[in-house]
């Protein structure tokens, strides 16, 4: 009987340790930045080599009563940052540069793999897991919000190397 109690206690300890680790991991990736009614939720990026193009993902929330839009992003880590949308049509992935991404009043817009995303063009340094990428987001309302993109695999992101499956796409021509 004592062996069963010890085994149960060990199992309970393992469960508590796993739960604590999950809470710590999720809180480290659950960064949120607010300015007025705008919120940037869980900004993250994948690891990438210096001189290449990295990516940025996040969720933008507009808790205000008026439409706003993301109109520019800048980072000292990249030569330039572009906003893109991705869509699949006829089995072909298409990417289009966006000059602005509207965020409806009371709504959210996800920047996620396979949809809207940021392209960090001309990385000045490698992005390594555990690093953060500083950026300034500029909105049509004039608001400027400084954020840090956590470098890792992101919540719910597929485990794939940076830019895998991009088939040599040239992002400089659109």
Q: Per the domain annotation, does 8 fall within a domain?
A: yes
The pLDDT assigned to 30 comes to 57
Same domain, 12 and 65: no
Q: Based on the fold, state whether residues 7 and 45 are members of the same structural domain.
A: no
Lowest mean pLDDT among 9-13, 46-50, 75-79, 96-100: 9-13
DSSP-based three-state secondary structure for 172:
helix
Largest CA distance in the chain: 71
If asked whether residues 57 and 120 sit together in one domain, one would say yes
Residues 19 and 57 in one domain: no
Q: Which residues contact 22 (CB under 8 A, 6 or more apart)?
A: none
Same domain, 130 and 92: yes
User: 82 and 62, same structural domain?
Assistant: yes
Domain interval for residue 105: 32-155
Q: pTM of this prediction?
A: 0.73
Per the structure, how many domains does the chain have?
Answer: 2
- Alpha carbon distance 114, 147 (integer Å): 22
The CA–CA distances, whole Å, from 87 to 15, 65, 117, 126 equal 41, 29, 11, 28
Judge if 84 and 125 occupy the same domain.
Answer: yes
In a domain, 170, yes or no: no
Residues 23 and 65 in one domain: no
* Under 8 Å between Cβ of 132 and 148: yes
pLDDT (tens digit per residue) in 112-163? 999 999 999 999 999 999 999 999 999 999 999 999 999 997 654 444 444 4
DSSP-H helix ranges across the chain: 2-29
């Amino acid at each position: 009987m004592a062996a069963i109690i010890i085994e149960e206690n060990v199992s309970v300890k393992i469960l508590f340790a796993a739960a604590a680790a999950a809470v710590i991991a999720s809180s480290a990736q659950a960064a949120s930045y607010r300015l007025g009614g705008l919120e940037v939720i869980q900004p993250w990026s994948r690891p990438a080599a210096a001189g290449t193009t990295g990516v940025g993902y996040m969720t933008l929330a507009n808790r205000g009563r008026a439409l706003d839009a993301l109109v520019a992003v800048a980072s000292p880590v990249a030569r330039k940052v572009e906003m893109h949308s991705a869509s699949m049509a006829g089995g072909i992935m298409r990417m289009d540069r966006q000059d602005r991404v509207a965020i409806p009043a009371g709504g959210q817009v996800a920047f996620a793999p396979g949809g809207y995303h940021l392209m960090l063009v001309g990385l000045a340094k490698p992005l390594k897991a555990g690093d953060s990428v500083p950026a300034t987001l500029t909105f049509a309302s004039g608001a400027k919000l400084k954020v840090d993109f956590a470098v890792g695999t992101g919540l719910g992101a597929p485990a794939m190397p940076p830019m895998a499956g991009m088939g040599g796409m040239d992002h400089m021509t659109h």
